[in-house]
């Protein structure tokens, strides 16, 4: 177990270089088992979830070479399709090996995946999609997948699940015929995976829309690809900088369209930024005022499937709202347990009304005070860290290793930007 000790009051200032998208690189790592040739990925974030996925791949016989932020994977010597149950329990994305292992190697045994406890995260859509392609699936103490050659199918998902879209997309690349996935997720990380698969020889069209068409091919080959910047990490550091009264320059900040989706919600919290090429400039913004919706109505910030505001930024924006003048309603529609962390913010002095498990009203600004906190999940942990940086006095965040699952070297990078934070293992 680890904890952070934070002395609040220091602005987060400087130049921040984002790492690759966590939610893109994890399925990209899984895609290596679709070919016997090397897959080379650049800009890989060195976070705990990536490390566990690499352990999982090595445990089934994939050769893994990690150098700085570049990883080379080769599954030519694959020795088993049964995953280690202890490693599966550490990450939810272990399920992403079901599709590619079944498509390329005829089956897989995957034990119940772990991940953040932010509500029920069902696997039904994964099973529906893989069964539609011809896989036989049994579920007892493990999920067992078995298939001969897969055959294309026209699928209609009942939810735009990101991981189910990625799983079925990888499997469909090797299915005979043309598959379609309607109501597919179209987040930037899904698009990134699809572009990698096409570089590997897949034939995927409709990328960036909710209708993906996959013309199956006989084999895939190796490829080299650079993972796009993590817009969730970018948004988290923007929130940290603005909430503490700092300014930030973010080189290679990502695609303009991706940042535009984020900017809609941030602008309601009084946050503005400009672009200089691919650089994002976030100036110091004191005396921010929450901007009302049309008719001077209390603004509502709600998450949803892309291109709605991403759920993973909800927690940090709630903290940002506590440091902004005005009232805002936050509506978390994706996960029923995401909002429970606000109790910790209220203990720090935040003026928050929790209406129900999905909605909170934040009235700001309030002066937060240092407190002892426990991180329940990745994004709530980052939100608590930002709150601690804003607070008067010292805060302690326990269970800090949870934050490491999504943010690389968080204490070192925040310290470089001016935070007073120490890690104790």
Give the closest residue to 265 by CA, choosing from 325, 306, 313. 313
d(CA 201, CA 225): 13
Per the CB < 8 A criterion, the answer to whether 1 and 26 are in contact is no
Provide the CB-side half-sphere exposure for 55 (13 A, CA). 16
Beta pairing class for 39-42 and 223-226 = parallel
Handedness of CA 424, 402, 318, 248 (dihedral sign): positive
- CA 371 to chain CA centroid, Å, is 27
Q: In this structure, how many other beta carbons lie within 10 angstroms of the beta carbon of residue 424?
A: 10
Handedness of CA 362, 367, 372, 378 (dihedral sign): positive
Question: CA triplet 282, 304, 44: central angle to 5 degrees?
Answer: 55
* Active site (annotated) includes residue 116: yes
CA distances (Å), 172 to each of 28, 78, 146, 215, in order? 15, 21, 15, 8
From the candidates 49, 116, 230, 377, which is the catalytic residue?
A: 116
d(CA 309, CA 377): 19
CA distances (Å), 386 to each of 11, 130, 182, 318, in order? 11, 40, 38, 10
For residue 63, give the DSSP letter: E
Annotate 199-225 with b (16+ C-beta within 10 A) or e (fewer): ebbbebebbeebebbbebbeebebbeb
**Residue 41 token pair:** 């990925």
Burial class (CB in 10 A: 0-12, 13-18, 19+), 179: buried
d(CA 369, CA 387): 9
Residues ≥6 apart with Cβ < 8 Å to 172: 103, 133, 150, 152, 179, 181, 214, 216
3-state secondary structure of 360: strand
Among all residues, which ones are annotated catalytic? Answer: 116
């Amino acid at each position: 177990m680890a904890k952070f000790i934070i002395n609040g009051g220091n602005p987060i200032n400087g130049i921040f270089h984002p790492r690759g998208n966590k939610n893109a690189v994890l399925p990209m790592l899984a895609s290596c088992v679709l070919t016997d040739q090397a897959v080379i990925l650049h800009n890989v974030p060195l976070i705990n979830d990536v490390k566990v996925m690499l352990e999982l791949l090595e445990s089934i016989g994939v050769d893994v070479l990690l150098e700085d932020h570049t990883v080379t994977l080769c599954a030519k010597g694959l020795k088993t399709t049964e995953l280690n149950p202890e490693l599966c329990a550490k990450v939810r994305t272990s399920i992403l090996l079901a599709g590619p292992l079944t498509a390329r190697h005829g089956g897989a045994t995957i034990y119940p995946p772990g991940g953040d406890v932010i509500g029920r995260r069902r696997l039904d859509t994964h099973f529906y999609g893989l069964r539609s392609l011809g896989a036989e699936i049994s579920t007892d103490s493990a999920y067992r997948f078995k298939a001969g050659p897969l055959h294309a199918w026209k699928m209609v998902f009942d939810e735009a699940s990101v991981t189910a879209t990625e799983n079925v997309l990888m499997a469909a690349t090797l299915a005979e015929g043309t598959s379609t996935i309607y109501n597919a997720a179209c987040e930037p990380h899904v698009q990134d995976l699809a572009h990698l698969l096409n570089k590997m020889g897949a034939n995927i069209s409709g990328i960036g829309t909710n209708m993906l068409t996959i013309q199956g091919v006989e084999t895939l080959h190796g490829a080299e690809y650079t993972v796009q910047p993590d817009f969730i990490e970018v948004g988290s550091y923007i929130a940290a900088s603005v909430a503490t009264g700092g300014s930030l320059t973010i080189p290679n900040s990502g695609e303009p369209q991706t940042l535009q989706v984020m900017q809609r919600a941030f602008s309601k919290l009084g946050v503005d930024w400009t672009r200089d090429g691919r650089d994002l400039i976030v100036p110091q913004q004191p005396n921010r005022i929450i901007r009302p919706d049309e008719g001077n109505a209390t603004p509502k910030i709600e998450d949803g499937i892309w291109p709605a505001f991403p759920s993973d930024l909800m927690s940090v924006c709630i903290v940002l709202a506590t440091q902004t003048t005005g009232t805002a309603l936050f509506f978390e529609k994706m996960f029923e347990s995401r909002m429970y962390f606000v109790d910790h913010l209220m203990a720090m002095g935040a003026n928050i009304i929790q209406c129900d498990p999905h909605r909170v009203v934040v009235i700001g600004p309030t002066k937060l005070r240092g407190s002892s906190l426990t991180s329940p999940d990745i994004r709530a942990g980052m939100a608590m860290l930002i709150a601690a940086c804003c607070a008067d006095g010292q805060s302690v965040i326990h269970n800090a290793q949870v934050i490491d699952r999504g943010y690389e070297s968080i204490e070192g990078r925040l310290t470089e930007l001016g935070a007073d934070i120490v890690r104790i293992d």
